[in-house]
Chain A
Amino acid sequence: MSPIPDDFEQLRRLLALKRHEQPPPGYFHGFSRQVIVRIKAGELGDPVEAAGWSFGGGSLLQRIWATLDARPVLAGAFGVAVCGFFVVGALLSDNTGTAIAGNPPTPPPGRIAQASPFWEEAKFDTEAPSLIGVGGLPNYQPPAIAPTTSPSGSLFEEIRRAQSPRMSPQSGLSPQSGMPTAVSVSFSNP
């Protein structure tokens, strides 16, 4: 079937409407400048792109992706390796967790006798200037941490005990460094 030349005349007139579709006024004034700016940005080294780590044309990641895409076997091996890595990581972390839970560290017996509840030692901290309160959040109230009876051998208590003799209760400053204690915690005393 061969069309008569004028068959599409009306359609062509209608399509002419599209010639009147225009971008926003002044759009083309900045177009070439934007192109040049983007070219310059690319040339002068967007550090990521210059190093070839971006997904832009021909980058290292793109080439790796293309390689994996082209060779499904390689992609599968890569996937298996990643899964294996996670499985081994999970197993190792599980073993470590079991070891800690099964054999809690026992502190030297002498220290247990001297130990007192850590919230009593930490009381002076409530007097220390709070960096958070002084700054942009005047109404901020630090959350009250209810004391819990921790086992005498807890790691947290050990750390508190090791730090507390070096603290100056009056000033809230560390006597060794002379720096203010950055975090203040209020403990509600039951």
Chain B
Amino acid sequence: MIMTEPARRKPADEQAQGSAPRAARRDEEQVPAPPQIDEMELVKRARDGDLESYDELVKRYQERIYATVYHMTSNHEDANDLAQEAFIKAFHALKSFKGGSSFYTWVYRIAVNKTINFLKQRKNKAQMSLDDLDFNVEHNPDLIALISDKTPRREVNLAELQEKLNGAMQKLSEPHRLVVTLHDVQGLSHEEIAKIMDCNIGTVRSRLFYARQQLQAYLSDYLK
């Protein structure tokens, strides 16, 4: 996912988390970032009821949380609701946050659990409402190479490809979809994913391998 304006102002934070999308890093402008308040300090203030501090925390992670939920649900409205609910739940549960992990991992875990519960309930009535592709996708060399070989009508097939890709993702089980989303789409490390999913790294690796195999089979027409 490409980073939008508010996040571009926080390159230091993105790098510290080690999970900024590659495309976003490429587009980063060299704007001096305002001094960042320590995450734990913000958490402490928010725990004492300071909503401005919590607002700052939400702004820091909103895009990544939204993106994760969106890639899991393939539905903008659902992603919007779930991401907001995750932040609200996190705020109310701040007192139980001991600081054993980073706030970022903790809120991620809340969002992921919420999303998985939601998907279990939704099960048979999944509906895709895909977010639009941004302008930069036209200039992505990997995708140009991937698509232009097959058809001259690239724009039409880009949308079709997006739909196929999301359809294939939806066929995966929730844990497998989550691993692919966090690793291959959002660029999180195996260690971070293991923390978020509360499992060991070996499980993450095996799930990732299986999920990729499945996706490759579903998308074989586009991967020749």
- Chain A positions within 8 Å of B, measured between CB atoms, are 3, 8, 10-24, 27-29, 31-36, 38-40, 42, 57
- Chain B positions within 8 Å of A, measured between CB atoms, are 1-2, 4-7, 21-23, 51, 54-55, 58-59, 62-63, 66, 70-71, 76, 79-80, 83-84, 87-89, 91-92, 130-134, 136-137, 140, 142-143, 145-146, 158, 161-162, 165-166, 169, 180, 184-185, 209, 212, 215-216, 219, 222-223
Give the CA-CA distance A59 to B83 in the complex, in Å: 22
Give the CA-CA distance A40 to B5 in the complex, in Å: 26
Q: Check if B223 sits within 8 Å of A20, measured CB to CB.
A: no
Give the CA-CA distance A22 to B169 in the complex, in Å: 17
Q: Check if A28 sits within 8 Å of B133, measured CB to CB.
A: no
> Chain B contacts of A32 at CB under 8 A?
55, 58-59, 62
Closest 4 CB pairs of A and B: A20-B137, A32-B58, A21-B131, A13-B142
CB distance from B8 to the nearest CB of A (A): 11
> Chain B contacts of A23 at CB under 8 A?
66, 70, 76, 79-80, 131
Q: Check if A3 sits within 8 Å of B209, measured CB to CB.
A: yes
CB distance from B23 to the nearest CB of A (A): 6
Q: Check if B132 sits within 8 Å of A19, measured CB to CB.
A: no
Chain A residue at minimal CB-CB distance from B23: A19
Partner of A31, one of B58, B142, B158: B58
CB distance from A29 to the nearest CB of B (A): 7
Q: Check if A35 sits within 8 Å of B137, measured CB to CB.
A: no
Q: Check if A21 sits within 8 Å of B209, measured CB to CB.
A: no
CB distance from A32 to the nearest CB of B (A): 4
Output the residue of A19, A23, A31, A42 with the most chain B CB within 10 A. Answer: A19
> Chain A contacts of B166 at CB under 8 A?
18
Q: Check if B88 sits within 8 Å of A14, measured CB to CB.
A: no
> Chain A contacts of B142 at CB under 8 A?
13, 16
Q: Check if B216 sits within 8 Å of A35, measured CB to CB.
A: no
Prevailing SS type, chain B contact patch: helix
Give the CA-CA distance A183 to B51 in the complex, in Å: 55
A17-B133, A20-B1 known; A35-B223 Cβ under 8 A: no
Q: Check if B162 sits within 8 Å of A35, measured CB to CB.
A: no
Give the CA-CA distance A29 to B70 in the complex, in Å: 17
> Chain A contacts of B137 at CB under 8 A?
17, 20
Q: Enumerate 23 A-B pairs (CB-CB under 8 Å) in ascending A order.
A: A11-B184, A11-B219, A12-B184, A13-B143, A13-B145, A14-B223, A15-B185, A15-B215, A16-B140, A17-B140, A17-B143, A18-B71, A20-B133, A21-B133, A22-B132, A22-B134, A23-B79, A27-B80, A32-B58, A32-B59, A34-B84, A35-B84, A35-B91
Partner of B143, one of A16, A22, A40: A16
CB distance from B105 to the nearest CB of A (A): 19
Give the CA-CA distance A35 to B145 in the complex, in Å: 41
Give the CA-CA distance A90 to B142 in the complex, in Å: 73
Chain A residue at minimal CB-CB distance from B49: A43
Q: Check if A35 sits within 8 Å of B215, measured CB to CB.
A: no
> Chain A contacts of B222 at CB under 8 A?
14
Q: Check if B66 sits within 8 Å of A20, measured CB to CB.
A: no
Chain A residue at minimal CB-CB distance from B46: A39
Chain A residue at minimal CB-CB distance from B164: A14
Q: Check if A57 sits within 8 Å of B89, measured CB to CB.
A: yes
Chain B residue at minimal CB-CB distance from A3: B209
Give the CA-CA distance A6 to B95 in the complex, in Å: 45
Give the CA-CA distance A42 to B89 in the complex, in Å: 11
Q: Check if B92 sits within 8 Å of A20, measured CB to CB.
A: no
Q: Check if A28 sits within 8 Å of B6, measured CB to CB.
A: yes
Q: Check if A17 sits within 8 Å of B162, measured CB to CB.
A: yes
